[in-house]
Amino acid sequence: MSMLKSNGPVLTAVGALGGLMLSGLLASPVAAASLEVIANSLESPRGLAFSPVGVLYVTEAGRGGDGACIQSGSGSEVCYGATGGVTRIWKGEQQRIASGLPSLALPDGSEATGPHDIVFNQIGSAQIVIGLGASPSERDTLGEVGKSFGTLISAFTDKRARTVGDVVVYEETSNPDGGELDTNPYGVAIQSGKRAIADAGGNSLLSMDTVGNISTLAVFPERLVDAPPFLGLPPGTQIPMESVPNSVAIGPDGAYYVGELTGFPFPVGAARVYRVVPGAAPEVLVEGFTNIIDIAFATDGSLYVLEYAKNSLLSGDPTGALTRISPDGSRTLIVSEGLIAPTGVAIDSTGEIYVSNNSATVGEGQVVRVVP
């Protein structure tokens, strides 16, 4: 995924962050932060969340297994295994408190799809999205075990997980973006009992109620971008790039904020954060990022943007970046060194920042605390 340019992204005045407008080309000072490992040996860590009592949880997409195989949206063959899970981090200790969740991955365990994100409702029940990253027809070939992919599950209240809603079925029947059938629930947030789900495969933001009914909140269309030189196309040729929205957070103003990874050719500076108000078209809040993987708000209204790879997925460089956008629009690069294929960010009530890290190296994933 992609990196920030050294001169920083452009912030565009087309939205409100904490009620304040962003404008202009803002400088990007760098904070002198380091990383402290608080959990390790994780299997493809993804989203992070705090429970209502302040305990930190991280989803693990697993390493797949030797079960049935399907073709992923990227064209790779990925195979099933019940290797996904959720780990709790509390008082200096980590414990995998949920195991046996569905996972798809390459034979070496990499490029895993499984439990992607987690959020808690007010009574402490975990809401977990399970990805798919393929067409609905591919899920069917997995048989019974396939029914868990592309869903939202609720867990922990009675020690058992139950499926709340099926995003795959909604993609089949509604296809919000009108493109090829493809779904990959990746990010989830909760507000007033309703879950907002970022469907990276379907290029949409969905709403799911407590009984699993789904509706479309927003669709993020393709954009034309310059074709990379290695394609050998005539100079000036533009090709379509998908949005790939993969993260969602509730802002201080109650609106939904959505970060996008972007699709091929993953150009540097093309990723955006959108502000979404139900019933209105998405507005670009900030742009100039590359391959956003997660976003989160702090209690002071600052927006934190996490990039999976700050130099683009095509660069081969897995270095990520975490940037803070203050309510006045100023931007600060918090940390980049040591962030290797990071995937999730969470901020506690005191302002402490945690990131899931090293997600692409099987069995060596981490959760790190950002030390100012």
Q: What is the pLDDT of residues 267-279, one digit of tens each?
A: 999 999 999 999 9
Mapping DSSP to helix (H, G, I), strand (E, B) and coil, where does residue 153 land? strand
On whether the pTM is more than 0.85, the answer is yes
Please check whether residue 205 is in contact with residue 217, taking contact to mean a CB–CB distance below 8 angstroms: yes
The predicted structure's pLDDT at residue 59:
98
Quote the CA–CA distance of 35 and 339 in Å, as a whole number: 8
Contacts of 72 (CB under 8 A, 6+ apart): 78, 104, 111, 113, 133, 134, 138
Q: Which of 351, 250, 360, 230 is nearest to 298 (CA)?
A: 351
Quote the CA–CA distance of 218 and 242 in Å, as a whole number: 14
Q: Which of 276, 316, 317 is nearest to 295 (CA)?
A: 276
Tokens standing for 267? 């150009």
Quote the CA–CA distance of 126 and 176 in Å, as a whole number: 27
Quote the CA–CA distance of 120 and 47 in Å, as a whole number: 12
Q: Which of 83, 98, 92, 165 is nearest to 363 (CA)?
A: 83
Tokens standing for 188? 């989830």
Quote the CA–CA distance of 73 and 318 in Å, as a whole number: 21
The tally of CA atoms less than 13 A away on the side-chain side of residue 311 is 10
The predicted structure's pLDDT at residue 159:
62
In degrees and rounded to multiples of 5, residue 298 shows phi and psi of: -90, 170
Q: Give the H or E element holding residue 207.
A: strand 204-208
The predicted structure's pLDDT at residue 338:
97
Q: How far is CA 275 from CA 110, 137, 255, in A?
A: 32, 32, 7
The one-letter code for the residue type at 361 is T
Architecture per CATH, 16-371: 6 Propeller (2.120)
Please check whether residue 320 is in contact with residue 345, taking contact to mean a CB–CB distance below 8 angstroms: no
Report pLDDT digits (tens) over 121-136. Answer: 988 999 999 999 999 9
- Report cis status (omega within 30 of 0) of the bond before 265: yes
Q: Which residues of the chain are modeled with pLDDT < 70?
A: 1-27, 157-159
